[in-house]
Amino acid sequence: MYETLSNIKADAWSTVLPEQLERAFDGSKHGDLAEWFNIIEALPDITAPYRQLDSDAIQIGCPEDLTSLEQQQLEQNLRSLHPWRKGPYNLFGIHMETEWRSDWKWNRLKDHIAPLKYRTVLDIGCGNGYHCWRMLGAGAKAVIGVDPMLLNVMQFLAIKKLHGDAPIHVLPLGIEHIPAGLKAFDTVFSMGVLYHRRSPIDHLLELRDVLQSGGELVLETLVIDGKLGEMLLPEDRYARMRNVWFLPSCATLESWLRRCGFKNIRLIDVTTTRTEEQRSTDWMRFHSLKDFLDPENPHLTTEGLPAPKRAIFLANVI
Q: What is the pLDDT along the chain (318 residues), one digit of tens a residue?
A: 888 888 888 889 999 999 999 999 998 888 999 999 999 999 998 888 899 999 999 999 999 999 999 999 999 999 999 999 999 999 999 999 999 999 999 999 999 999 999 999 999 999 999 999 999 999 999 999 999 999 999 999 999 999 999 999 999 999 999 999 999 999 999 999 999 999 999 999 999 999 999 999 999 999 999 999 999 999 999 999 999 999 999 999 999 999 999 999 999 999 999 999 999 999 999 999 999 999 999 999 999 999 999 999 999 999
Q: What is the 3-state secondary structure (H, E, C) of 195-243?
A: HHCCCHHHHHHHHHHHEEEEEEEEEEEECECCCCCCEECCCCCECCECC
First to last CA, the chain: 28
| CATH number of the domain that residue 25 is part of | 3.40.50.150
> ∠117-121-124 over CA atoms, to 5°?
150
Q: What is the pTM of this model?
A: 0.97
Query: What helix, strand, coil percent values describe the chain, rounded to 5?
Result: 35, 25, 40
> Which is nearest to 57 in space by CA: 86, 14, 22?
86
Domain of 175, in residue numbers = 2-316
Residues facing residue 123 across a β-bridge: 145, 189
Give how many domains the chain has, as a whole number: 1
